Amino acid sequence: MRLLRSEIPDGECVCSYCPGKCCRYFALPIDTPDSWHDFENIRWYLLHDRATVFVDDDTWYLLVHTKCRFLNDATNICEQYEIRPQICRSYSNKKCEYEDHYVYDQYFEVADQVAEYAEAVLGEKKKNK
């Protein structure tokens, strides 16, 4: 069982006790969908392996579940820490998802979920003749 953040000894890094959650995905903000065309694009994202879409604080994100090439599977520590990208350097483990079991406002794993949501928001899609 993993230690709680409060149980990690003073002076030690939380990363040493973590399975490398932040290095196993990336999420990019996407435009908020407001048309059937937009929702069809999101459906297309979800037809790809290891892609999900979530909404958090009214911002939509494309989340890709993929491990960073620098993450060591045995230690869950970055093998290229000294030359890691700036986005990693800017990331703080002070408020990271170490203990979080995050719940998003919306979370879409399959294309059908997006179609159902779009229909609820936009109404029934008109059939092309």
Domain ranges of the chain: 14-121
Predicted local confidence at residue 129, as pLDDT: 52
Q: What is the pLDDT of residues 40-94, one digit of tens each?
A: 999 999 999 999 999 999 999 999 999 999 999 998 889 999 999 999 999 988 8
Is the predicted pLDDT of residue 14 greater than 90, yes or no?
no
* 46-59 as b/e: b if 16+ CB within 10 A: beeeebbbbbeeee
State mean pLDDT over 18-38: 95
Q: What is the pLDDT of residues 85-122, one digit of tens each?
A: 999 999 988 888 888 777 899 999 999 999 999 999 99
Beta strands in the chain (DSSP E): 26-30, 51-56, 59-64, 106-108
